[in-house]
Structure 1
Amino acid sequence: MRITRVLNVMGGALLGLGLALGLAVAPAAADSTPSASPSDDGSAPTEAGTSFRTATEVEQGQTATASGSTGDYLYWSFPADTGQRPTVKATVKLPDEHVTQTWQLDVYDGLRRRQACQYGAQTRTAAQGTASVELACVLRTVRAWSEPWANDPLPGTYYVRLTAVDLKASDLGLPVEAELRADSKDIGGAAAVDGSLAKPLVPGIAVKSEAEEDDSSASAVLSSIEPDDGWASGWWSDRWVWTGLGAALAALAGIGGYTLTRGSGRPRQVPPGA
């Protein structure tokens, strides 16, 4: 009977922990889809910048468009937060008559460090007469913190540069149409690390902080975009839920083992008169 009661208690506790885990992890599971939906209000940008400082700001989920010429550098920027794995896609519509062209998509973080792509066609060559070329770059998961010498992607502004490389003189200045879209997949606690940045890598944030300390109204904020729910603090992730569940299971296992051992080691009582 004692063993049965112990098993019932442990079963009830495990059921309660399972329900609590399901409630805690459910929001994280719902966030595994792209972090933003396409913009339907027509607010998506219709032009691109020509440098890092003039990069056009794009929210995740928006499809930005721009007109340009072969030989131009087209720049956009978008925000990416801790735990996200950004995917950048670009489509270039080429003129009817052109020779072979090679287009390249580069992504830089808030420190203007070029970030490597995990996979995706970052560079593609369009044969003569090809109507369009599609490029893609899937970055590594954005980390909350990194060593100063590392090149890990960190939360903040990310820059996208689209251009044609090794152009023939006959193709310089031909009109092109470009589309760009950035999305992210929420990886969650699987990519969590200990530590976080004091501030996201956003241009102008240092000047803004100095202005706030001086109680001055002037601030040189070059980037105004951020995730819909604000920048993450970097310390919370669903990894804490799994850690707590493991600790609770270990405690229950210890209690159950102690109870079973104590019950089996008790001497058997002999009824009087036996």
Structure 2
Amino acid sequence: MRITRVLSAALLTLGLAAGPAAADSSPSPSASQDSGAPTEAGTSFRTATEIEQGQTATASASTGDYLYWSFPADAGQRPTVKATVKLPDTHATEAWQIDVYDGLRRRQSCQYGAQTRTAAADAASVELTCVLRTVRAWSEPWADDPLPGTYYLRLTAVDVPTSDLGLPVDAEVRVDSKDIGGAAAVDGALAAPLVPGAGVLSQGDEEESTKEALLASLEPSDGWSSGWWSDRWVWTAFGGVLAALAGIGGYALTRGSGRPSRVPPGA
């Protein structure tokens, strides 16, 4: 009976603990995210157009232009960047490419996906995909791991004949993320996300703090480092409960009846 009560209490505790994890992993409606999506792109890192994850941003440009967007990514997320370029009716064979940079403007490699594709002369569009590595909450200074903060998406034609330069194109980009959870958890966190600043905007008296203009103002819907809770906590607690139950069960099996056996007189 005692073991049964302990097991029931342990299962109830795990159920309560798993509740917040399930609530955090539930996706928000995409309809609200798509409202007010940008319809233009920047031409440099400093003028990159901000987009939220789940939004589909569009832009009209010319072949040969560099198009920039920026988006926030938090720890535990694995962002997937997709881009579609609608080409003019008449064009030569040309190649398009997407590159992703972090807040320090370090180029991040794609884990997999078609980062560069060549469009044939009769192709109406070209689609590109880049799946980044999982964003880590902390990393060694010498490492090139993705860290929480602002990320930049650059779209451009990398191999285009001179005759096609300046032809009108329509671009469409979208960023989605998969929450990896406790499998990507590390023992550490950054003091602040890598959000680039444009420098001092204004400075008051000595008692006032220096204000800084940010080049990127978007952040995850529930704030930075919102993924402090992960299923890693659930599995750790579950392992501790199993170890405790194993100890209680072993003690119950080896202690016997608890009373010393009677020894016959004169034995």
Same fold, TM exceeding 0.5? yes
1:268 is displaced (CA, Å) by: 3.0
Mapping of 1:43-58 within 5 angstroms?
Answer: 43-58=36-51
Which one-letter code corresponds to 2:187 in the other structure? Answer: D
Preserved CA contact (<8 Å) 1:55 1:77: yes
Q: 2:178 maps to which residue? A: 185
Structure 1 match to 2:169: 176
Contact 1:31/1:186 (<8 A) preserved: no
Check the 8 A contact 1:211/1:219 in 2, yes or no: no
TM-score w.r.t. length of structure 1: 0.87
TM-score (norm. length: structure 2): 0.89
The one of 138, 149, 153 aligned to 1:145: 138
Does 1:215 find its partner at 2:208? yes
Deviation, structure 1 residue 32: 4.5
Is 1:79–2:78 an aligned residue pair?
Answer: no
Partner of 1:3: none
Of the three residues 8, 22, 43, the one matched with 1:15 is 8
SS at match of 1:128: coil
Corresponding position: 1:123 with 2:119: no
1:79–1:227: 8 Å Cα contact kept in structure 2?
Answer: yes
Amino acid at match of 1:128: A
Aligned residues, how many?
Answer: 264
SS at match of 1:75: strand
Q: What secondary structure sits across from 1:118 in the alignment?
A: strand
Contact preservation (8 Å) 1:39, 1:62:
no
- The residue that corresponds to 2:152 in the other structure is 159
Name whichever of 178-187 and 244-253 sits farther off. Answer: 244-253
Gap runs ≥5 in structure 1: 1-7
1:166 Cα deviation (Å)? Answer: 1.5
- Residue 222 (structure 2) pairs with residue 242 (structure 1): no
Q: 1:11 Cα shift? A: 3.0
Post-superposition shift, 1:231? Answer: 0.4
Deviates more, 1:253-262 or 1:12-21: 12-21
Give percent identity, aligned residues only: 75
Is the contact made by 2:98 and 2:128 (CA closer than 8 Å) also made in structure 1?
yes
Indicate if the aligned counterparts of 1:63 and 1:181 stay in contact, CA closer than 8 A.
yes
8 Å CA contact retained: 1:100, 1:128:
yes
> Contact 2:199 / 2:212 at 8 angstroms: preserved in 1?
no
Q: CA deviation at 1:253?
A: 1.6
Is 1:201 the equivalent of 2:187? no
Identify the match of residue 255 of structure 1 among 225, 239, 248. Answer: 248
More displaced stretch, 158-167 vs 22-31 = 22-31
Per the alignment, residue 4 of structure 1 pairs with none
Aligned partner of 1:226 in structure 2 is: 219
For 1:102, the equivalent position in structure 2 comes to 95
Per-residue displacement from partner, 1:3-46 (whole Å, max 9, x unpaired)?
xxxxx332332233223323322443455465662446741101
Give the root-mean-square deviation of aligned CA atoms: 2.7
Distance 2:26 2:77 in 1: 10
Cα offset, 1:192, TM superposition: 0.2
Separation in structure 2 between the aligned mates of residue 14 and residue 207 of structure 1, nearest angstrom:
58
Structure 2 residue identity aligned to 1:19: L
Structure-2 separation of matches of 1:252 and 1:259: 10
Q: Report the secondary structure of 1:148's partner residue.
A: coil
**Unaligned 5+ runs, structure 2:** none
Matches within 5 A, 1:33-72: 37-39=30-32, 42-72=35-65
Native 8 Å contact 1:48 1:56 kept in 2? yes
What secondary structure is seen at the aligned counterpart in 2 of 1:134?
A: strand
